[in-house]
Amino acid sequence: MHNNFYFLRKVSSRLKDILVGSAVVSECYSQQKDELIIRFETKQKSFYIKATLSPTLSTLSFPEDHQRSRKNNIDLFPSLIGLHVTDVRQFENERAFALTMTDGFALLFKMHGNRSNIILVKESNVIDAFRKNITDDEDANFKTLDRQIDFSYEAFEAHYHNLQALYFTFGKSVWKYLNQQGFADQDKSVQWSSIQAVKKALEETQSFSIIIDKTISLWMLPTNNAIETLDDPLKAATQFYFKFVQQNAYLSEHADALQAIRTKISSSESFIKKNKSKLDEIESDNHYKVWADLIMANLHQIRQGQEKVTLENFYNENKPLEIKLKKDLNAQKNAEAFYRKAKNQHIEITTLQEAIASKEKLIVSLTEKLERLESASDLKSIRQVSGAIESSQDRKKDISLPYHEFEFKGFRIWVGKDAQRNDELTLKYSYKEDLWLHAKDVPGSHVLIKHQSGKTFPKDVIERAAQLAAYNSKRKTESLCPVIVTPKKFVRKRKGDPAGMVVVEKETVVMVVPGL
């Protein structure tokens, strides 16, 4: 319900109290593709509106503060800077409101799900829009945004078989709530009363709940499933945004971690199957030792220069057995060669048995971790399990190297251990084709994604490495962290710079949730 008309009406009313008469726009910028930040200066303090208009989430939030990055951001709607807010207009029965400004400007917030947009208007003419690909918004007209609903009983009866179209401001969530209350089985008069009661509740409520129903939702009606309840619509919208981002991060990381463990289990099972087959084949084929034993028992019958000999096989009822020989060796040397091959077979058998046992042990450990991961209810639990997947052999190898190694979808990701090791990793262990990552504007580990010949770096691999860079930095506790990504060839170190400090000549920035 975060974009429901009744909730947006609460939001616009609260914004009117805060902004009208004192607020002036001081900044309007974007540092992510689907995010717009508007900063106002009021008599008390700065006030922020953060619009997130992505395919997965379109919502408004109102953070107490927002740190603008030094690079990779762009100023938008420059005409607004210095203008005062003169009014906040909520359009009737519409998921849209406008901030009216001085000099004839207005900023329209149209919260229509995945077609949400923020539109700059001057004297009823559209000047600019945040999302320029929504061509319908080029003709946005304040005069046509107000919509009427006839809430009379006569209209109720006339539209009885299409009530959802009549009361379109309720939205899917309210109709779902009504149906859960048995609306479909009620008499007509009771249904009329139910609609009036829900409308009154939506209009009068001052309680806003965050609930989990498969995903995070904002709720304005009575519920027993609230994980948090607030009495301010702006705080509720902000908390909903943060909870939604956290939930999405949890679901994404949970799915990735489950897939990683299941892939390791599947790979281990394939390894066991393949090598058990090979082991059975070797164990059933002991002919080298048999040949050597038969030759040693019949040394007097074999002359140097023979290419083969037929001997009675006392291991198989004395049946004749033909053995190929090396003609440049005598009988004893041929036997010794076969004994060496038999010994190598034994070593191979032992090695395969140990490898199979190790993989079986690993599967038991991974299965236990999989069970823990399936029941993990938060990011901390997921990361604790995921971080424990590295084998003890990997950790021993890790001691002498300047980096921790992670593997994701076949790509090796190296994370520097400290400032001195960062230099060693970047200057001695990297190649120009590697991808280099670092949390933006804060101390942290250098991270490399090792280049593979003929392969490009997949987006999800870059995001995973960026999560590691964010987690191994001073931004590890932030909900979102900007991370620099660039080919290693654009990273250099100047003479005299302290340990870990480098110069990046060309960069892009991705925003990720810090994660181990």
Task: Look up the CATH number of the domain holding residue 119.
Answer: 2.30.310.10
pLDDT in the model for residue 400? 61
Give the bridge partners for 414, in sequence order. 405, 448
Tell me, yes or no, whether 399 and 445 share the same domain. yes
Tell me, yes or no, whether 238 and 212 share the same domain. yes
Q: Residues 335-346: pLDDT tens digits?
A: 999 888 888 778
Q: Residues 108-142: pLDDT tens digits?
A: 999 999 899 999 999 889 999 999 988 888 888 88
| Residue that finishes a domain, picked among 144, 168, 203 | 144
How far apart CA 273 and CA 262 sit, in angstroms, is 16
Tell me, yes or no, whether 254 and 384 share the same domain. yes
| Residue that finishes a domain, picked among 242, 273, 297 | 242
Tell me, yes or no, whether 404 and 449 share the same domain. yes
Q: Residues 386-441: pLDDT tens digits?
A: 765 544 444 444 446 788 889 898 899 999 988 888 998 998 888 888 999 999 99
Domain range enclosing 406: 391-512
More confident residue, 496 or 234: 234
Tell me, yes or no, whether 216 and 268 share the same domain. no
User: Would the pLDDT of 489 be above 90?
Assistant: yes
What percentage of residues in the chain have a pLDDT greater than 90?
A: 59
Tell me, yes or no, whether 380 and 396 share the same domain. no
Residue 374 burial (CB count, 10 A): 12
Average pLDDT for residues 37-49, to the nearest whole number?
Answer: 94
Tell me, yes or no, whether 139 and 189 share the same domain. no
pLDDT in the model for residue 398? 45
User: What residues contact residue 434 under an 8 Å CB cut-off, 6+ apart?
Assistant: 448, 449, 450, 451, 487, 488
Tell me, yes or no, whether 65 and 106 share the same domain. yes
Residue 186 burial (CB count, 10 A): 14
DSSP, res 231: S
Structural domain count, the chain: 4
| Residue that finishes a domain, picked among 364, 389, 414 | 389
pLDDT band at 297 (very low <50, low <70, confident <90, very high): very high
Query: With contact defined as beta carbons under 8 Å apart, do 82 and 136 qualify?
Result: no
pLDDT in the model for residue 484? 96
Q: Residues 498-516: pLDDT tens digits?
A: 888 999 999 999 999 888 8
pLDDT band at 248 (very low <50, low <70, confident <90, very high): confident
How far apart CA 280 and CA 375 sit, in angstroms, is 39
Average pLDDT for residues 471-497, to the nearest whole number?
Answer: 91
Tell me, yes or no, whether 99 and 210 share the same domain. no
Tell me, yes or no, whether 271 and 218 share the same domain. no
Query: With contact defined as beta carbons under 8 Å apart, do 174 and 221 qualify?
Result: yes
Q: Sheet harboring 35-41: ordered strands across?
A: 58-61, 46-53, 35-41, 24-32, 74-75
Tell me, yes or no, whether 328 and 384 share the same domain. yes
More confident residue, 50 or 67: 50
Tell me, yes or no, whether 102 and 178 share the same domain. no
